[in-house]
Structure 1
Amino acid sequence: MDLGLHGRTAFISGSTQGIGYAIASALAAEGVRVTLNGRDTTRVEAAASRLRAEQSDAEVSAVAADFAKPDEVRALIASLGEVDILVNNVGLFGLAEFASLSDEEWARYVEVNVMSGVRLSRALLSGMIERGWGRVVFISSESGVNVPADMVHYGVTKAAMIALGNGLAKLTRGTDVTVNTVLGGPTFSDGVAASVAAVADARSLPADEMKRAIIGQNSTTLIERFLEPSEVADLVVYLASARASATNGAALRADGGVLTSML
Protein backbone atom coordinates (compact mmCIF):
# COMPACT_ATOMS: atom_id res chain seq x y z
CA MET A 1 0.00 0.00 0.00
CA ASP A 2 1.36 3.39 -1.01
CA LEU A 3 1.16 5.69 2.00
CA GLY A 4 2.05 8.77 -0.04
CA LEU A 5 4.99 9.68 2.17
CA HIS A 6 7.99 9.40 -0.14
CA GLY A 7 9.93 12.66 -0.25
CA ARG A 8 8.25 14.18 2.79
CA THR A 9 10.28 15.61 5.67
CA ALA A 10 9.83 14.78 9.35
CA PHE A 11 11.16 15.96 12.69
CA ILE A 12 10.79 13.59 15.64
CA SER A 13 11.63 14.99 19.06
CA GLY A 14 13.30 12.63 21.51
CA SER A 15 14.23 10.05 18.90
CA THR A 16 17.57 8.53 19.82
CA GLN A 17 15.93 5.38 21.21
CA GLY A 18 12.64 3.75 22.10
CA ILE A 19 9.37 4.86 20.53
CA GLY A 20 10.90 7.97 18.97
CA TYR A 21 13.61 6.01 17.19
CA ALA A 22 11.08 3.39 16.06
CA ILE A 23 8.93 6.16 14.56
CA ALA A 24 11.91 7.66 12.75
CA SER A 25 12.90 4.24 11.40
CA ALA A 26 9.38 3.46 10.20
CA LEU A 27 9.04 6.84 8.48
CA ALA A 28 12.46 6.49 6.84
CA ALA A 29 11.38 3.10 5.48
CA GLU A 30 8.55 4.93 3.70
CA GLY A 31 10.99 7.32 2.02
CA VAL A 32 10.61 10.19 4.48
CA ARG A 33 13.64 12.41 5.15
CA VAL A 34 13.89 12.29 8.93
CA THR A 35 15.61 14.49 11.48
CA LEU A 36 16.45 12.83 14.77
CA ASN A 37 16.73 14.69 18.05
CA GLY A 38 18.26 14.09 21.46
CA ARG A 39 19.83 16.07 24.28
CA ASP A 40 23.40 14.98 23.58
CA THR A 41 25.19 15.52 20.25
CA THR A 42 27.15 12.28 20.52
CA ARG A 43 24.05 10.18 21.18
CA VAL A 44 21.93 11.76 18.46
CA GLU A 45 24.70 11.40 15.88
CA ALA A 46 25.14 7.76 16.94
CA ALA A 47 21.40 7.17 16.47
CA ALA A 48 21.55 8.73 13.01
CA SER A 49 24.50 6.52 12.08
CA ARG A 50 22.62 3.48 13.34
CA LEU A 51 19.58 4.30 11.23
CA ARG A 52 21.72 4.83 8.13
CA ALA A 53 23.38 1.46 8.75
CA GLU A 54 19.99 -0.24 9.11
CA GLN A 55 18.56 1.45 6.02
CA SER A 56 21.22 2.27 3.47
CA ASP A 57 18.93 4.54 1.44
CA ALA A 58 17.58 6.48 4.43
CA GLU A 59 17.99 10.26 4.41
CA VAL A 60 18.78 11.10 8.02
CA SER A 61 19.97 14.21 9.79
CA ALA A 62 20.44 14.90 13.49
CA VAL A 63 20.12 17.90 15.77
CA ALA A 64 20.77 18.06 19.51
CA ALA A 65 18.59 20.10 21.85
CA ASP A 66 17.41 19.73 25.43
CA PHE A 67 13.72 20.61 25.62
CA ALA A 68 14.14 21.60 29.26
CA LYS A 69 16.22 24.55 27.98
CA PRO A 70 14.20 27.09 25.95
CA ASP A 71 17.35 28.66 24.46
CA GLU A 72 18.35 25.33 22.94
CA VAL A 73 14.82 24.84 21.61
CA ARG A 74 14.88 28.26 19.94
CA ALA A 75 18.20 27.38 18.28
CA LEU A 76 16.81 24.04 17.14
CA ILE A 77 13.73 25.65 15.60
CA ALA A 78 15.88 28.21 13.81
CA SER A 79 17.92 25.39 12.27
CA LEU A 80 14.95 23.48 10.88
CA GLY A 81 13.80 24.01 7.33
CA GLU A 82 10.37 23.04 6.04
CA VAL A 83 8.87 20.16 7.99
CA ASP A 84 5.91 18.20 6.65
CA ILE A 85 5.53 15.83 9.59
CA LEU A 86 6.08 16.85 13.20
CA VAL A 87 6.09 14.11 15.83
CA ASN A 88 6.02 15.50 19.36
CA ASN A 89 7.46 12.51 21.15
CA VAL A 90 9.97 13.82 23.69
CA GLY A 91 8.91 13.38 27.29
CA LEU A 92 9.90 12.74 30.89
CA PHE A 93 8.60 9.72 32.80
CA GLY A 94 8.96 8.66 36.40
CA LEU A 95 7.25 7.45 39.54
CA ALA A 96 6.84 9.94 42.38
CA GLU A 97 4.61 10.55 45.37
CA PHE A 98 2.35 13.52 44.74
CA ALA A 99 3.00 15.08 48.16
CA SER A 100 6.78 14.95 47.70
CA LEU A 101 7.01 16.48 44.24
CA SER A 102 8.32 20.06 44.23
CA ASP A 103 7.13 22.97 42.13
CA GLU A 104 10.45 22.85 40.29
CA GLU A 105 9.90 19.22 39.29
CA TRP A 106 6.35 19.95 38.17
CA ALA A 107 7.69 22.82 36.07
CA ARG A 108 10.32 20.54 34.51
CA TYR A 109 7.68 18.03 33.45
CA VAL A 110 5.47 20.75 31.98
CA GLU A 111 8.45 22.31 30.19
CA VAL A 112 9.48 19.08 28.49
CA ASN A 113 6.23 17.15 28.06
CA VAL A 114 3.92 20.05 27.17
CA MET A 115 5.88 23.13 26.15
CA SER A 116 8.03 21.12 23.72
CA GLY A 117 4.90 20.45 21.66
CA VAL A 118 3.66 24.02 22.09
CA ARG A 119 6.91 25.53 20.82
CA LEU A 120 7.45 23.13 17.92
CA SER A 121 3.83 23.31 16.77
CA ARG A 122 3.81 27.11 17.01
CA ALA A 123 6.89 27.24 14.81
CA LEU A 124 5.93 24.62 12.22
CA LEU A 125 2.13 24.34 11.95
CA SER A 126 1.59 27.64 10.11
CA GLY A 127 4.09 26.61 7.41
CA MET A 128 2.22 23.35 6.87
CA ILE A 129 -1.04 25.26 6.45
CA GLU A 130 0.55 27.73 4.02
CA ARG A 131 2.00 24.90 1.92
CA GLY A 132 -1.31 23.05 1.96
CA TRP A 133 -0.26 19.77 3.60
CA GLY A 134 1.09 18.59 6.92
CA ARG A 135 0.83 16.23 9.84
CA VAL A 136 1.34 16.84 13.55
CA VAL A 137 1.27 13.81 15.86
CA PHE A 138 1.53 13.97 19.64
CA ILE A 139 2.75 10.88 21.50
CA SER A 140 0.69 10.86 24.67
CA SER A 141 -0.22 7.92 26.88
CA GLU A 142 -3.14 6.00 28.31
CA SER A 143 -1.96 7.61 31.56
CA GLY A 144 -3.33 10.89 30.21
CA VAL A 145 -6.81 9.36 30.36
CA ASN A 146 -6.48 7.11 33.41
CA VAL A 147 -4.04 9.12 35.52
CA PRO A 148 -1.96 6.86 37.82
CA ALA A 149 -1.84 7.74 41.50
CA ASP A 150 1.93 7.24 41.58
CA MET A 151 2.50 9.40 38.47
CA VAL A 152 0.01 12.23 38.80
CA HIS A 153 2.52 14.71 37.37
CA TYR A 154 3.15 12.52 34.32
CA GLY A 155 -0.54 11.83 33.70
CA VAL A 156 -1.45 15.50 33.97
CA THR A 157 1.11 16.50 31.35
CA LYS A 158 0.01 13.68 29.05
CA ALA A 159 -3.61 14.84 29.43
CA ALA A 160 -2.45 18.34 28.48
CA MET A 161 -0.88 16.93 25.31
CA ILE A 162 -4.22 15.39 24.31
CA ALA A 163 -5.97 18.72 24.85
CA LEU A 164 -3.26 20.61 22.96
CA GLY A 165 -3.54 18.31 19.94
CA ASN A 166 -7.32 18.61 19.88
CA GLY A 167 -7.19 22.39 20.08
CA LEU A 168 -4.55 22.76 17.37
CA ALA A 169 -6.58 20.56 15.03
CA LYS A 170 -9.29 23.22 15.03
CA LEU A 171 -6.80 25.63 13.47
CA THR A 172 -6.52 23.38 10.40
CA ARG A 173 -10.16 23.57 9.36
CA GLY A 174 -10.60 23.24 5.59
CA THR A 175 -6.97 22.27 4.94
CA ASP A 176 -5.03 19.08 4.24
CA VAL A 177 -3.22 19.45 7.57
CA THR A 178 -4.14 17.19 10.48
CA VAL A 179 -3.25 17.08 14.17
CA ASN A 180 -3.76 13.85 16.11
CA THR A 181 -2.61 12.16 19.29
CA VAL A 182 -1.53 8.59 19.96
CA LEU A 183 -2.29 7.10 23.36
CA GLY A 184 0.51 4.63 23.95
CA GLY A 185 0.22 1.80 26.43
CA PRO A 186 2.96 0.12 28.51
CA THR A 187 5.81 -0.15 26.02
CA PHE A 188 9.08 -2.03 26.37
CA SER A 189 11.27 0.86 25.33
CA ASP A 190 14.98 1.11 26.10
CA GLY A 191 14.29 3.08 29.27
CA VAL A 192 11.69 0.62 30.52
CA ALA A 193 13.98 -2.30 29.68
CA ALA A 194 16.77 -0.76 31.76
CA SER A 195 14.41 -0.17 34.68
CA VAL A 196 13.09 -3.74 34.53
CA ALA A 197 16.64 -5.10 34.42
CA ALA A 198 17.62 -3.01 37.44
CA VAL A 199 14.63 -4.17 39.49
CA ALA A 200 15.23 -7.77 38.43
CA ASP A 201 18.87 -7.54 39.48
CA ALA A 202 17.95 -6.03 42.84
CA ARG A 203 15.54 -8.92 43.47
CA SER A 204 17.85 -11.58 42.01
CA LEU A 205 15.26 -12.54 39.39
CA PRO A 206 15.62 -13.21 35.66
CA ALA A 207 14.74 -10.10 33.65
CA ASP A 208 12.04 -11.93 31.65
CA GLU A 209 10.36 -13.11 34.84
CA MET A 210 10.40 -9.58 36.21
CA LYS A 211 8.98 -8.28 32.94
CA ARG A 212 6.06 -10.74 33.10
CA ALA A 213 5.44 -9.92 36.77
CA ILE A 214 5.24 -6.19 36.11
CA ILE A 215 2.80 -6.43 33.22
CA GLY A 216 0.86 -9.05 35.19
CA GLN A 217 0.01 -6.37 37.75
CA ASN A 218 -2.00 -4.54 35.10
CA SER A 219 -5.51 -5.91 35.50
CA THR A 220 -6.98 -4.37 32.34
CA THR A 221 -4.43 -5.14 29.62
CA LEU A 222 -5.98 -7.29 26.90
CA ILE A 223 -2.78 -8.35 25.18
CA GLU A 224 -1.15 -9.19 28.53
CA ARG A 225 2.32 -8.09 27.48
CA PHE A 226 4.33 -4.94 26.91
CA LEU A 227 3.96 -3.30 23.51
CA GLU A 228 6.99 -3.08 21.25
CA PRO A 229 8.00 0.45 20.17
CA SER A 230 7.36 -0.55 16.55
CA GLU A 231 3.70 -1.20 17.35
CA VAL A 232 3.23 2.41 18.41
CA ALA A 233 5.29 3.59 15.44
CA ASP A 234 3.02 1.78 12.98
CA LEU A 235 0.03 3.85 14.10
CA VAL A 236 2.07 7.05 13.86
CA VAL A 237 3.13 6.26 10.30
CA TYR A 238 -0.51 5.71 9.33
CA LEU A 239 -1.54 9.04 10.88
CA ALA A 240 1.32 10.75 9.04
CA SER A 241 0.23 9.29 5.73
CA ALA A 242 -2.11 10.47 3.02
CA ARG A 243 -4.37 7.53 3.94
CA ALA A 244 -5.31 9.21 7.23
CA SER A 245 -6.70 12.38 5.62
CA ALA A 246 -10.10 11.96 7.32
CA THR A 247 -8.65 11.63 10.83
CA ASN A 248 -8.15 14.98 12.56
CA GLY A 249 -8.36 16.15 16.16
CA ALA A 250 -8.49 12.56 17.37
CA ALA A 251 -6.84 10.59 20.15
CA LEU A 252 -6.17 7.06 18.92
CA ARG A 253 -5.03 4.15 21.05
CA ALA A 254 -2.07 1.86 20.75
CA ASP A 255 -2.50 0.75 24.34
CA GLY A 256 -2.98 -3.01 24.20
CA GLY A 257 -6.52 -2.62 25.51
CA VAL A 258 -5.46 -1.09 28.85
CA LEU A 259 -8.16 1.57 28.72
CA THR A 260 -11.57 0.08 29.42
CA SER A 261 -13.90 2.74 28.00
CA MET A 262 -15.41 2.22 24.55
CA LEU A 263 -14.45 5.71 23.30
Structure 2
Amino acid sequence: MEPNELLQLKKLATAIRRDVLVMLERVGSGHLGGSMSIADLMSVLYGKRLAYDPENPSWEGRDRVVLSKGHAGPAWYAALAERGFFDKEVLLTLNEGGTNLPSHPDRTKTPGVDMTTGSLGQGTSVAAGIATALKLKKNDAKVYLIVGDGELNEGQCWEAFQYLAHYRLNNCIVIIDWNKRQLDGACTEVMNPFDLEEKMRAFGFKTLSVNGHDIEALDQALEAASAVKDSAVCVIMDTIKGAGIPFFETYPGNHSVKFSDPACRVAADEAIAAFEAQLAGE
Protein backbone atom coordinates (compact mmCIF):
# COMPACT_ATOMS: atom_id res chain seq x y z
CA MET A 1 0.00 0.00 0.00
CA GLU A 2 1.34 3.42 -0.95
CA PRO A 3 2.02 5.77 1.99
CA ASN A 4 -0.52 8.35 0.82
CA GLU A 5 -3.21 5.70 0.42
CA LEU A 6 -2.52 4.44 3.94
CA LEU A 7 -2.69 8.01 5.25
CA GLN A 8 -6.06 8.57 3.59
CA LEU A 9 -7.47 5.36 5.05
CA LYS A 10 -6.25 6.33 8.52
CA LYS A 11 -7.91 9.72 8.11
CA LEU A 12 -11.15 8.07 7.08
CA ALA A 13 -11.04 5.82 10.16
CA THR A 14 -10.44 8.90 12.31
CA ALA A 15 -13.35 10.73 10.69
CA ILE A 16 -15.61 7.72 11.31
CA ARG A 17 -14.63 7.65 14.99
CA ARG A 18 -15.21 11.39 15.33
CA ASP A 19 -18.60 11.17 13.62
CA VAL A 20 -19.70 8.30 15.84
CA LEU A 21 -18.83 10.27 18.97
CA VAL A 22 -20.60 13.40 17.72
CA MET A 23 -23.75 11.41 16.89
CA LEU A 24 -23.90 9.46 20.12
CA GLU A 25 -23.04 12.35 22.42
CA ARG A 26 -25.74 14.44 20.79
CA VAL A 27 -28.41 11.79 21.29
CA GLY A 28 -27.13 11.11 24.82
CA SER A 29 -26.34 7.40 24.57
CA GLY A 30 -25.59 4.62 22.15
CA HIS A 31 -23.48 1.68 21.05
CA LEU A 32 -20.03 3.19 21.15
CA GLY A 33 -17.81 0.16 21.83
CA GLY A 34 -18.78 -2.03 18.90
CA SER A 35 -18.89 0.94 16.53
CA MET A 36 -15.32 1.89 17.37
CA SER A 37 -14.04 -1.68 17.03
CA ILE A 38 -15.10 -1.76 13.34
CA ALA A 39 -14.09 1.81 12.41
CA ASP A 40 -10.84 0.68 10.77
CA LEU A 41 -12.66 -2.08 8.88
CA MET A 42 -15.22 0.41 7.57
CA SER A 43 -12.38 2.65 6.43
CA VAL A 44 -10.72 -0.16 4.48
CA LEU A 45 -14.00 -1.32 2.98
CA TYR A 46 -15.34 2.05 1.91
CA GLY A 47 -11.96 3.63 1.30
CA LYS A 48 -10.54 0.87 -0.89
CA ARG A 49 -12.06 -2.58 -1.19
CA LEU A 50 -15.74 -2.14 -2.04
CA ALA A 51 -17.23 -1.53 -5.47
CA TYR A 52 -20.04 1.02 -5.03
CA ASP A 53 -21.54 4.21 -6.44
CA PRO A 54 -22.89 6.78 -3.93
CA GLU A 55 -24.90 8.38 -6.74
CA ASN A 56 -26.54 5.03 -7.50
CA PRO A 57 -26.74 3.00 -4.26
CA SER A 58 -28.78 0.26 -5.98
CA TRP A 59 -26.24 -0.35 -8.74
CA GLU A 60 -26.37 -4.07 -9.54
CA GLY A 61 -22.60 -4.38 -9.73
CA ARG A 62 -22.03 -3.09 -6.21
CA ASP A 63 -20.54 -5.17 -3.43
CA ARG A 64 -22.99 -5.73 -0.59
CA VAL A 65 -22.36 -5.10 3.11
CA VAL A 66 -24.41 -6.88 5.76
CA LEU A 67 -23.77 -5.51 9.24
CA SER A 68 -25.26 -8.40 11.21
CA LYS A 69 -24.16 -6.73 14.47
CA GLY A 70 -26.65 -3.98 13.66
CA HIS A 71 -26.16 -2.08 16.91
CA ALA A 72 -22.87 -0.81 15.39
CA GLY A 73 -24.92 1.08 12.82
CA PRO A 74 -23.39 4.47 13.75
CA ALA A 75 -20.02 3.36 12.33
CA TRP A 76 -21.75 2.32 9.10
CA TYR A 77 -23.66 5.60 8.88
CA ALA A 78 -20.46 7.56 9.40
CA ALA A 79 -18.67 5.66 6.63
CA LEU A 80 -21.59 6.15 4.23
CA ALA A 81 -21.78 9.87 4.96
CA GLU A 82 -18.03 10.33 4.61
CA ARG A 83 -18.16 8.62 1.20
CA GLY A 84 -21.00 10.74 -0.11
CA PHE A 85 -24.11 8.56 0.17
CA PHE A 86 -25.88 11.39 2.00
CA ASP A 87 -25.08 14.77 3.55
CA LYS A 88 -23.07 14.58 6.76
CA GLU A 89 -25.59 16.88 8.46
CA VAL A 90 -28.01 13.93 8.40
CA LEU A 91 -25.77 12.21 10.97
CA LEU A 92 -27.08 14.67 13.55
CA THR A 93 -30.58 13.16 13.21
CA LEU A 94 -29.54 9.74 14.55
CA ASN A 95 -32.44 8.11 16.44
CA GLU A 96 -34.72 11.17 16.10
CA GLY A 97 -38.36 10.72 15.15
CA GLY A 98 -38.68 10.33 11.39
CA THR A 99 -34.93 9.95 10.91
CA ASN A 100 -33.37 8.03 8.06
CA LEU A 101 -30.75 6.83 10.55
CA PRO A 102 -32.51 4.58 13.07
CA SER A 103 -30.69 2.92 15.94
CA HIS A 104 -30.28 -0.24 13.85
CA PRO A 105 -29.85 -0.12 10.05
CA ASP A 106 -32.96 -0.20 7.87
CA ARG A 107 -32.54 -0.79 4.13
CA THR A 108 -35.77 1.12 3.37
CA LYS A 109 -34.49 4.29 5.01
CA THR A 110 -30.75 4.73 4.50
CA PRO A 111 -28.96 5.01 1.12
CA GLY A 112 -26.19 2.42 0.96
CA VAL A 113 -27.75 0.02 3.48
CA ASP A 114 -28.48 -3.30 1.73
CA MET A 115 -29.87 -5.23 4.66
CA THR A 116 -31.97 -4.33 7.70
CA THR A 117 -30.29 -5.74 10.80
CA GLY A 118 -30.61 -5.68 14.54
CA SER A 119 -31.94 -9.07 15.62
CA LEU A 120 -28.59 -10.71 16.18
CA GLY A 121 -27.76 -13.72 14.03
CA GLN A 122 -30.25 -13.00 11.28
CA GLY A 123 -27.80 -11.07 9.12
CA THR A 124 -25.74 -14.23 8.64
CA SER A 125 -28.63 -16.10 7.02
CA VAL A 126 -29.59 -13.18 4.79
CA ALA A 127 -25.97 -12.69 3.68
CA ALA A 128 -25.87 -16.36 2.70
CA GLY A 129 -29.05 -15.84 0.71
CA ILE A 130 -27.69 -12.75 -1.03
CA ALA A 131 -24.48 -14.61 -1.90
CA THR A 132 -26.51 -17.47 -3.34
CA ALA A 133 -28.61 -15.09 -5.44
CA LEU A 134 -25.51 -13.37 -6.80
CA LYS A 135 -24.04 -16.74 -7.82
CA LEU A 136 -27.26 -17.73 -9.56
CA LYS A 137 -27.32 -14.42 -11.42
CA LYS A 138 -23.65 -14.85 -12.34
CA ASN A 139 -22.98 -11.50 -10.68
CA ASP A 140 -19.35 -11.24 -9.52
CA ALA A 141 -20.16 -8.86 -6.65
CA LYS A 142 -19.12 -9.87 -3.14
CA VAL A 143 -20.97 -9.84 0.15
CA TYR A 144 -19.08 -8.62 3.22
CA LEU A 145 -20.78 -10.03 6.31
CA ILE A 146 -19.76 -8.38 9.60
CA VAL A 147 -20.58 -10.46 12.68
CA GLY A 148 -19.97 -9.74 16.34
CA ASP A 149 -18.29 -12.29 18.60
CA GLY A 150 -21.08 -12.01 21.18
CA GLU A 151 -23.54 -12.54 18.34
CA LEU A 152 -22.01 -15.97 17.75
CA ASN A 153 -24.02 -17.14 20.77
CA GLU A 154 -26.89 -17.35 18.28
CA GLY A 155 -27.26 -20.80 16.72
CA GLN A 156 -28.54 -19.20 13.54
CA CYS A 157 -25.00 -17.98 12.79
CA TRP A 158 -23.65 -21.51 12.77
CA GLU A 159 -26.47 -22.78 10.57
CA ALA A 160 -25.66 -20.05 8.05
CA PHE A 161 -21.93 -20.79 8.26
CA GLN A 162 -22.58 -24.47 7.59
CA TYR A 163 -24.61 -23.49 4.52
CA LEU A 164 -21.90 -21.14 3.24
CA ALA A 165 -19.24 -23.82 3.70
CA HIS A 166 -21.29 -26.63 2.15
CA TYR A 167 -21.97 -24.60 -1.00
CA ARG A 168 -18.47 -23.06 -1.01
CA LEU A 169 -19.84 -19.56 -1.30
CA ASN A 170 -16.51 -17.79 -1.53
CA ASN A 171 -18.32 -14.61 -2.63
CA CYS A 172 -19.48 -14.08 0.96
CA ILE A 173 -16.56 -12.94 3.10
CA VAL A 174 -17.41 -13.52 6.76
CA ILE A 175 -15.72 -10.97 9.02
CA ILE A 176 -15.87 -11.66 12.76
CA ASP A 177 -15.29 -8.69 15.04
CA TRP A 178 -13.50 -10.41 17.90
CA ASN A 179 -13.57 -7.56 20.40
CA LYS A 180 -14.07 -10.00 23.27
CA ARG A 181 -16.92 -8.18 25.01
CA GLN A 182 -20.68 -8.18 24.68
CA LEU A 183 -23.60 -6.50 26.43
CA ASP A 184 -23.25 -8.30 29.75
CA GLY A 185 -19.47 -8.59 30.00
CA ALA A 186 -16.58 -10.58 28.63
CA CYS A 187 -17.53 -13.16 26.02
CA THR A 188 -15.50 -15.82 27.83
CA GLU A 189 -17.65 -15.30 30.94
CA VAL A 190 -21.07 -14.93 29.30
CA MET A 191 -20.68 -17.81 26.82
CA ASN A 192 -17.14 -18.93 26.06
CA PRO A 193 -16.59 -18.97 22.27
CA PHE A 194 -13.41 -21.02 22.70
CA ASP A 195 -11.07 -20.91 19.68
CA LEU A 196 -12.95 -19.13 16.89
CA GLU A 197 -10.23 -19.82 14.34
CA GLU A 198 -10.39 -23.57 15.01
CA LYS A 199 -14.19 -23.53 14.97
CA MET A 200 -14.45 -21.76 11.63
CA ARG A 201 -11.90 -24.12 10.11
CA ALA A 202 -13.85 -27.08 11.49
CA PHE A 203 -16.93 -25.67 9.77
CA GLY A 204 -15.09 -25.76 6.45
CA PHE A 205 -13.82 -22.20 6.12
CA LYS A 206 -10.50 -20.92 4.88
CA THR A 207 -9.77 -18.77 7.92
CA LEU A 208 -7.46 -15.78 8.33
CA SER A 209 -6.71 -13.86 11.53
CA VAL A 210 -5.60 -10.24 11.57
CA ASN A 211 -5.14 -7.24 13.84
CA GLY A 212 -8.37 -5.40 13.12
CA HIS A 213 -6.79 -2.02 13.87
CA ASP A 214 -3.80 -2.41 11.54
CA ILE A 215 -5.22 -0.92 8.36
CA GLU A 216 -2.51 -2.24 6.06
CA ALA A 217 -2.68 -5.79 7.49
CA LEU A 218 -6.48 -5.69 7.38
CA ASP A 219 -6.42 -4.68 3.72
CA GLN A 220 -4.03 -7.53 2.94
CA ALA A 221 -6.23 -10.04 4.77
CA LEU A 222 -9.32 -8.92 2.85
CA GLU A 223 -7.39 -9.12 -0.41
CA ALA A 224 -6.31 -12.68 0.42
CA ALA A 225 -9.89 -13.56 1.38
CA SER A 226 -11.15 -12.20 -1.94
CA ALA A 227 -8.73 -14.49 -3.78
CA VAL A 228 -10.06 -17.70 -2.18
CA LYS A 229 -11.71 -19.79 -4.90
CA ASP A 230 -12.55 -23.23 -3.55
CA SER A 231 -14.16 -22.71 -0.13
CA ALA A 232 -16.04 -20.39 2.16
CA VAL A 233 -13.76 -17.78 3.73
CA CYS A 234 -13.61 -16.00 7.08
CA VAL A 235 -11.49 -13.16 8.45
CA ILE A 236 -11.26 -12.96 12.24
CA MET A 237 -10.39 -9.44 13.37
CA ASP A 238 -8.63 -9.17 16.73
CA THR A 239 -10.06 -5.85 17.96
CA ILE A 240 -10.64 -3.76 21.07
CA LYS A 241 -14.09 -2.58 22.04
CA GLY A 242 -14.02 1.23 22.11
CA ALA A 243 -10.77 1.25 20.08
CA GLY A 244 -9.12 4.59 19.49
CA ILE A 245 -10.17 6.20 22.79
CA PRO A 246 -8.20 4.92 25.82
CA PHE A 247 -10.94 5.88 28.29
CA PHE A 248 -13.59 3.87 26.46
CA GLU A 249 -11.29 0.95 25.71
CA THR A 250 -11.27 0.16 29.44
CA TYR A 251 -14.67 1.56 30.42
CA PRO A 252 -16.78 -1.35 31.80
CA GLY A 253 -19.99 -0.08 30.17
CA ASN A 254 -18.51 0.56 26.75
CA HIS A 255 -21.06 -1.62 24.93
CA SER A 256 -23.71 1.11 25.25
CA VAL A 257 -22.48 4.36 26.73
CA LYS A 258 -24.66 6.88 28.57
CA PHE A 259 -23.27 10.39 28.32
CA SER A 260 -25.15 11.48 31.43
CA ASP A 261 -22.00 10.15 33.12
CA PRO A 262 -19.81 13.28 33.29
CA ALA A 263 -16.62 11.22 32.85
CA CYS A 264 -17.96 9.81 29.59
CA ARG A 265 -18.90 13.24 28.29
CA VAL A 266 -15.48 14.68 29.12
CA ALA A 267 -13.73 11.71 27.47
CA ALA A 268 -15.88 12.08 24.37
CA ASP A 269 -15.28 15.84 24.12
CA GLU A 270 -11.53 15.36 24.48
CA ALA A 271 -11.50 12.59 21.87
CA ILE A 272 -13.52 14.65 19.40
CA ALA A 273 -11.07 17.53 19.79
CA ALA A 274 -8.11 15.18 19.31
CA PHE A 275 -9.66 13.62 16.20
CA GLU A 276 -10.43 17.06 14.76
CA ALA A 277 -6.79 18.06 15.30
CA GLN A 278 -5.57 14.90 13.55
CA LEU A 279 -7.85 15.52 10.59
CA ALA A 280 -6.66 19.11 10.38
CA GLY A 281 -3.07 17.88 10.29
CA GLU A 282 -2.03 19.47 13.54
| Alignment TM class, shorter chain as reference | 0.3 to 0.5
Q: TM-score, normalised by structure 2?
A: 0.39
